[in-house]
């Protein structure tokens, strides 16, 4: 776990402040030390990943936790940008959303997401989900 | 012949009969007279020669002895023979020796001849030689007149004439009598013919009185009359029928509710009362110039009529034409024209029928407008339905975010203030999150409900038996519960997700509400031609019939939500899914007797049918 934390960081793209808190608290509860950066929508995320705000990312992330319904540029649009960019296309993306829309699910998987997780309503279950996620990326070798 | 042809048959018959008789009698008389003459002459010759011979023989002595007186005496005896007019005795020197003449005026020249018998000038001359001892000693000459013959013939002719007269009278009588047999039937025939020709009465008949040619003629005539009479009757019947049909035809045209017209020679020959009424003009104006009036009404009537009149209705590209007509008062009519070629006063014409379809056209137009309106409504409804579904989906989605926030925040508050909070506050915090859960369930229910019929899932071949087993596994009923899956569960191609939702809702409902430890849920299937009829039955408390309608209504629950955590969406989803597939779901239940849900599922999914 420490190794992963040293090697990489996680970018959370989420517009809901409570959800951001949710993730941060769940990280804390699960004792995840991997640096977590937050972008409030797709445009901000791209600015951070490609510049001009790339300096904000001290460690370049290998994992992205992506919400779908966001202002300006939504998750699916951001995914298209990422998969169309040679530098970013290898990012491991997990969709973390409230949208159970079939179209969103299909679009997401056709853009090679590593998982599509519906945000659990209760915090306990959220903590559980984040725990499972962290175990998942820890047993995987990342590029 | 001219004169003869004018005579009546009766006169002709008499003339012919009398003529024939007279001619026959005449010819016969001529033959008899001729024969009489020949016989008389022969007799006269023989008699005279015999007398000559006798007289010659008596005169031999006189000649030998040259006794002239005796010779004269001998010859004078000839006066007793009536025929002999004169006699001369010649001696062997051909010199007259003695002579005799009946009258003194008789100056017959005496020429000598050796021998001969001949008539000369109605007088018979006979010369005969007189022989004695094989030696001719003289010649005797006798002369005999034919006065007696003439007298005989005259007498005969007189008798004949008398006979002929009698015969003519008799023949005339006979003819008069006989013609009755011959001419009477003919006269009757003539009379009948005249009667027939003057009265046209073909029922008359000629009496047949004989079996001869006239009889045959009369029979033939009667036969002919019968045939004519028969034909007359047939013609009368036919004429009657024609008259009847014509009057019927006329009636139909005049009574017709359709405007009708006849075009002949390109001109209006007839307009029926309905047409006149349609034109809405004074009748005398129409009568004055029907062509102009009709042309003003519609220019097509005469032109199409003329076309059909000369070529027949088949020249029209369509059997029914549609025209517009304009009356003088400004009304517009739509009508359908039906044209036919007919005989009108024995000449070709076109009969047109105008059916007023104005109302029909207007109705059609209205109907089209209504149809358009309906289509618009349908499109709008579809759009608003879609919007509603979208709305339901989006709102429920957006409702979940704050809900989650409330849930999370309440927990963090509880955690962060862990030491400060009382037991009561912890309980309230739990209640708060319980309501959040319920609200999430409701929102999920709305989401699910809005998806039925909107979101199509994959068609798969579903084995109902294994599907049911999976559902029961997933629902994990308590060990004392029994779920019985009946025999003959089918395998069909359908939306697996939907039928799974139906069964899962019904079975979980049964498990939830059965309310006793030894719960029993039974599932049956029956083949209902194009449907499978599935039954999910439990041995729970049952549902009062007065609530049967309510349980399929969304958000409707029969128990307090605090007692049984329920959204009231499950059965409404079941109903929506089943009805979306063209089936129906019913509930049969009485309190304390369990509940029995029955639903139909099509054997062939409507999605397959619609391609």
Residue B212 lies in a domain: no
Residue B521 backbone dihedrals phi, psi, to 5 degrees: -115, 125
Return the pLDDT at B319: 62
What angle, 0 to 180 degrees and rounded to 10, lies between the N-to-C axes of helices B496-513 and B464-475? 50
Instruction: For residue B502, give every residue at least 6 positions away whose Cβ sits within 8 Å of its Cβ, in sequence order, or none.
Output: B574, B577, B578, B599, B601
Return the pLDDT at B69: 85
The CA distance from A54 to the nearest CA of chain B, in Å, is 30
Task: Check B411 against A121: CB less than 8 A apart.
Answer: no
Q: Three-class SS string for B332-397?
A: EEEEEEEEEEEEECCEEEEEEEEEECHHHHHHHHHHHHHHHHHHHHHHHHHHHHHHHHHHHHHHHH
- What 8-state DSSP symbol labels residue B180? H
The CA distance from A118 to the nearest CA of chain B, in Å, is 11
Of B411, B428, B451, the position where a domain reaches its end is: B451
Q: Give the C-alpha separation, A92 to B335, whole Å.
A: 77
Does B462 lie in the same domain as B540?
A: yes
- B401 contact residues in A (CB cutoff 8 A): 16, 19, 98
Does B387 lie in the same domain as B348?
A: no
Instruction: For residue A88, give every residue at least 6 positions away whose Cβ sits within 8 Å of its Cβ, in sequence order, or none.
Output: A49, A50, A81, A82
B397 touches chain A (CB under 8 A): yes
- Domain boundaries in chain A? 2-30+42-119
- The list of chain B residues with pLDDT below 70 reads 1-4, 104-110, 179, 317-319, 558-565, 610-611
B454 touches chain A (CB under 8 A): no
Task: Check B404 against A69: CB less than 8 A apart.
Answer: no
Residue B95 lies in a domain: yes
Task: Check A99 against B403: CB less than 8 A apart.
Answer: no
Return the pLDDT at B561: 65
For each of chain A's 143 residues, which pLDDT tens digit applies? Answer: 444 445 688 999 998 888 898 899 899 888 888 899 999 989 999 999 988 888 888 888 989 999 988 888 889 999 999 999 888 899 999 999 887 778 889 999 999 999 999 888 778 888 999 999 989 888 888 77
Q: Buried b vs exposed e over B149-177: b needs ≥16 C-beta within 10 Å?
A: beeebeeeeeebeeebeebbeebeeebee
Q: Scanning every residue of chain A, which has its alpha carbon at the shortest distance from the alpha carbon of B454? A: A102
Does B284 lie in the same domain as B416?
A: no
Pairing of strands A10-13, A36-39: parallel
* Strands across the sheet containing A115-118: A36-39, A10-13, A63-66, A92-97, A115-118
Size of interface A-B (CB pairs under 8 A): 45
Q: What is the tens place of the pLDDT at every residue in B402-461?
A: 888 888 888 888 888 878 888 888 888 888 888 888 888 888 887 788 777 777 778 889
- B404 contact residues in A (CB cutoff 8 A): 18-19, 22, 98, 119, 121
Residue B278 lies in a domain: yes
Residue B238 lies in a domain: no
Q: What is the tens place of the pLDDT at every residue in B244-294?
A: 888 888 888 888 888 888 888 888 888 888 888 888 888 888 888 888 888
Return the pLDDT at A1: 41
A103 touches chain B (CB under 8 A): no
Return the pLDDT at A78: 92
B443 touches chain A (CB under 8 A): no
Residue B83 lies in a domain: yes
DSSP H or E stretch at residue B459: strand B459-463
Task: Check A98 against B400: CB less than 8 A apart.
Answer: yes
Return the pLDDT at B563: 63
Of B426, B451, B476, the position where a domain reaches its end is: B451
Q: Scanning every residue of chain A, which has its alpha carbon at the shortest distance from the alpha carbon of B394? A: A99
Closest to B83 (Cα-Cα) out of B140, B149, B152, B154: B149
DSSP H or E stretch at residue B39: helix B9-64
ipTM: 0.72
The CA distance from A127 to the nearest CA of chain B, in Å, is 11
Whether the CB-CB separation of B578 and B502 falls below 8 Å is answered with yes
**Residue matched to tokens 């022989």:** B131
CATH of segment(s) A2-30+42-119:
3.40.50.2300
Mean pLDDT over each residue of chain B, to the nearest integer = 83
B393 touches chain A (CB under 8 A): yes
- A123 contact residues in B (CB cutoff 8 A): 407-408, 411-412
Q: Give the C-alpha separation, A8 to B246, whole Å.
A: 110
B436 touches chain A (CB under 8 A): yes
Q: What is the CATH number of the domain that holds B377?
A: 1.10.287.130
Q: Give the C-alpha separation, B44 to B41, whole Å.
A: 5
**Among the partner residues A22, A99, A101, nearest to B408 by beta-carbon distance:** A22
Residue B383 lies in a domain: yes
Q: Scanning every residue of chain B, which has its alpha carbon at the shortest distance from the alpha carbon of A19? A: B405
Q: Coil, helix or strand for B26?
A: helix
Does B111 lie in the same domain as B36?
A: yes
Q: What is the tens place of the pLDDT at every residue in B50-109?
A: 888 888 888 888 888 888 888 888 888 888 887 788 888 888 888 888 888 877 666 666
Does B514 lie in the same domain as B473?
A: yes
CA distances from B571 to B169, B393, B548 (A): 140, 19, 11
- What 8-state DSSP symbol labels residue B77? G
Does B442 lie in the same domain as B461?
A: no
Domain hosting residue B322, numbered range: 256-356
User: Domain tally for chain B?
Assistant: 4
| Tokens describing residue A56 | 């904000």
Does B416 lie in the same domain as B389?
A: yes
């Amino acid at each position: 776990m420490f190794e992963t934390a040293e090697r990489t960081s996680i970018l959370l793209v989420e517009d809901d402040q409570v959800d951001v808190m949710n993730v941060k608290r769940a990280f804390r509860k699960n004792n995840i030390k991997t640096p977590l950066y937050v972008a409030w929508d797709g445009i901000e995320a791209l600015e951070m990943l490609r510049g001009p705000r790339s300096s904000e990312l001290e460690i370049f992330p290998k994992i992205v936790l992506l919400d779908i319904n966001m202002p300006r540029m939504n998750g699916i649009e951001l995914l298209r940008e990422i998969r169309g960019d040679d530098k970013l296309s290898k990012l491991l993306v997990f969709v973390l959303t409230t949208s159970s829309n079939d179209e969103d699910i299909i679009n997401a998987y056709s853009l090679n997401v590593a998982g599509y997780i519906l945000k659990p309503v209760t915090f306990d279950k959220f903590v559980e989900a984040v725990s499972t996620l962290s175990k998942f990326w820890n047993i995987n070798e990342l590029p | 012949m001219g004169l003869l042809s004018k005579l009546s048959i009766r006169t002709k018959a008499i003339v012919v009969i009398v003529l024939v008789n007279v001619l026959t009698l005449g010819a016969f008389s001529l033959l008899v007279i001729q024969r009489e003459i020949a016989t008389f002459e022969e007799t006269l010759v023989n008699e005279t020669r015999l007398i000559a011979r006798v007289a010659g023989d008596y005169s031999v002595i006189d000649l030998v002895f040259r006794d002239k007186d005796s010779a004269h005496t001998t010859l004078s005896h000839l006066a007793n023979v009536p025929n002999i007019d004169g006699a001369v005795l010649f001696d062997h020197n051909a010199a007259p020796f003695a002579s005799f003449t009946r009258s003194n005026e008789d100056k017959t020249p005496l020429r000598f001849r050796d021998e001969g018998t001949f008539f000369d000038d109605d007088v018979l001359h006979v010369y005969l030689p007189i022989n004695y001892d094989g030696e001719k000693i003289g010649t005797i000459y006798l002369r005999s007149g034919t006065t007696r013959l003439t007298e005989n013939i005259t007498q005969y002719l007189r008798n004949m004439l008398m006979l002929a007269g009698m015969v003519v009278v008799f023949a005339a009588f006979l003819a008069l009598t006989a013609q009755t047999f011959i001419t009477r039937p003919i006269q009757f025939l003539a009379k009948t013919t005249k009667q027939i020709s003057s009265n046209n009465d073909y029922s008359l008949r000629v009496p047949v009185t004989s079996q001869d040619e006239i009889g045959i003629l009369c029979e033939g005539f009667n036969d002919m009359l019968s045939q004519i009479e028969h034909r007359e009757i047939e013609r009368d019947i036919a004429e009657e029928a024609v008259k009847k049909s014509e009057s019927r035809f006329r009636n139909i045209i005049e009574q017709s509710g359709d405007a009708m017209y006849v075009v002949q020679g390109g001109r209006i020959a007839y307009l029926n009362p309905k047409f006149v009424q349609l034109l809405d003009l004074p009748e005398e104006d129409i009568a004055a110039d029907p062509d102009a009036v009709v042309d003003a009404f519609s220019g097509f009537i005469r032109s199409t009529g003329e076309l059909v009149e000369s070529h027949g209705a088949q020249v029209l590209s369509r059997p029914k034409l549609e025209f517009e007509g304009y009356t003088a008062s400004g009304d517009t009519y739509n009508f359908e024209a039906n044209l036919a070629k007919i005989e009108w006063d024995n000449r070709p014409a076109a009969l047109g029928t105008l059916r007023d379809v104005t109302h029909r056209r207007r109705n059609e137009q209205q109907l089209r407008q209504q149809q358009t309106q309906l289509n618009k409504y349908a499109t709008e409804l579809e759009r608003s339905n879609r919007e509603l579904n979208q709305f339901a989906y989006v709102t429920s989605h957006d409702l979940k975010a704050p809900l989650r926030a409330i849930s999370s925040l309440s927990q963090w508050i509880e955690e962060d203030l862990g030491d400060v909070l009382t037991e009561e506050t912890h309980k309230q915090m739990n209640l708060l999150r319980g309501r959040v859960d319920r609200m999430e369930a409701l929102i999920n229910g709305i989401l699910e409900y809005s998806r039925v019929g909107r979101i199509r899932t994959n068609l798969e071949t579903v084995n109902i038996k294994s599907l049911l087993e999976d559902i029961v596994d997933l629902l994990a009923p308590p060990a004392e519960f029994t779920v019985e899956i009946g025999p003959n569960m089918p395998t069909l191609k359908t939306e697996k997700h939907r039928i799974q939702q139906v069964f899962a809702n019904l079975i979980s409902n049964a498990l939830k509400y059965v309310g006793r430890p030894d719960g029993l849920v039974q599932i049956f299937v029956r083949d209902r031609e194009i449907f499978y009829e599935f039954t999910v039955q439990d041995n729970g408390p049952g549902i009062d019939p007065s609530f049967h309608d309510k349980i399929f209504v969304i958000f409707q629950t029969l128990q307090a939500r605090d007692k049984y955590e329920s959204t009231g969406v499950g059965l409404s989803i079941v109903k929506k899914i089943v009805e979306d597939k063209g089936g129906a779901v019913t509930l049969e239940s009485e309190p304390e007797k369990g509940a029995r849900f029955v639903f139909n599922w099509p054997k062939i999914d409507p999605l397959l049918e619609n391609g």
